[in-house]
Amino acid sequence: MLDIKKKFLEHGITPSMQRLLIYQYILRERNHPSVDMIYSALKKKAPTLSRTTVYNNVTLFVEKGLLFPMLTETAETRYDLTEHPHSHFICSQCGMIYDIPSVSCGPGQIPEGFVTAKTQVYIQGTCKNCRSK
């Protein structure tokens, strides 16, 4: 928990019990959660926690560079850690989102005159768990 508090302070975030709880969940589960997923998982542990509090803190984490939002095919926003560059595989059967090694666009794949600031790659298909069923 001390590492998380230190990380918060380095990113200009004042640590609070609710912020720590939310960020710990994201770190522990690594399930690319939505606000509703976080809220549902934590509401028994923290009965005073509201969806609005989760949303506001996740938004703060995005603004401060600790998370980035991912818009899924169903228009649901999910959140991912910004710890290291990577791409994502989204299973069209079960909806799980997996971190995979970075897939990048090479020279000549971006139209001339465009400048890339950030690249997010999502590959969709069937995961190994669903294929084995």
Segment 99-109, tens digit of pLDDT: 899 887 766 77
Segment 6-51, tens digit of pLDDT: 999 999 999 999 999 999 999 999 899 999 999 999 999 999 999 9
CA distance 6 to 29: 20
User: Domain residues of the chain, as ranges?
Assistant: 2-65, 87-131
Least confident range from 20-24, 52-56, 96-100: namely: 96-100
Confirm or reject CATH 3.40.50.970 for domain 2-65, answering yes or no. no
Q: Residue 10 has what pLDDT? A: 96
Q: Residue 1 has what pLDDT? A: 67
Count CB neighbours of 124 within 10 A: 11
